[in-house]
Amino acid sequence: MPIPNTPDTATLDDAAFVSRTLARAFGDDPMMCWFFPDAATREDGLARYFGTIFTRQYARHALCERTGAGAAFWVPPEAQAQAVPDEETIGELQAILGDRAALFGEAVESAAKHAPREPHWYLAVIGADPAAQGQGHGAALLRSGLSQADAAGLPAYLESSKPDNLPFYEHFGFTVREELQLPGGGPTLWSMWRDPRPAAR
């Protein structure tokens, strides 16, 4: 039976759902597999990771939306200075990542150096449960955020380490801006950019 794919605001009450859903969505993501190399503990580690950044970071300072099987975190330009982890959050993430914490820090720093400086909407996270693949959850979440970026007359930016996802984003008007090789033998990261489109009348 199809799961409802109409986006709705994700609140702190949705933390368990959001963390579990994104853990399943990113189970085969190259960058997340690099940060969590043990397949036996990966889903649990990812759930803790997404739960932490959602509750301590994005739910407080970003536009977070969910469907019945997906979630997305969008950061408008006016919130980008606040939607960064504080020292306590960094400590929690380091404990979750264990001996991969240093690699994680290097990857985040490397990606940040290439982030655009002009005002834009940043798609920090988007994912749907693979069990609901093909039901339009990712597309609905993407359209929802892009409609708000378009209404503000602003471009959108994202990063992806999964090459299979690039055509999906290109379908919605994104183009590859840069191809980055993450330090420490990490995977390739593609940054993507989408110019604003006139809002539908």
pLDDT digits (tens, 9 = 90+) for 32-90: 999 999 999 999 999 999 999 999 999 999 999 999 999 999 999 999 888 888 889 99
Domains of the chain: 8-194 (3.40.630.30)
Q: Among candidates 137, 153, 126, which has minimal Cα distance to 26?
A: 126
Separation CA 58–CA 52 (nearest Å):
9
Amino acid making up residue 58: Y
- Stretch 139-157: mean pLDDT, rounded? 97
pLDDT of residue 151: 95
Q: 């420490």: which residue's tokens?
A: 184
**Beta-carbon-side half-sphere exposure of residue 141 (alpha carbons within 13 Å):** 28
Separation CA 198–CA 139 (nearest Å):
19
Task: Please report which confidence band the pLDDT of residue 4 belongs to, taking 50, 70 and 90 as the band edges.
Answer: confident
Q: Is a pLDDT exceeding 60 seen at residue 201?
A: no
pLDDT of residue 200: 58
CA torsion sign for 57, 8, 29, 97 is positive
pLDDT of residue 133: 87
Average pLDDT along the chain: 94
The model's pTM is 0.93
* Percent of residues, the chain, with pLDDT higher than 70: 98
pLDDT digits (tens, 9 = 90+) for 90-100: 999 999 999 99
Contacts of 102 by beta carbon, 8 Å cutoff, 6+ apart: none
Task: Please report which confidence band the pLDDT of residue 1 belongs to, taking 50, 70 and 90 as the band edges.
Answer: low
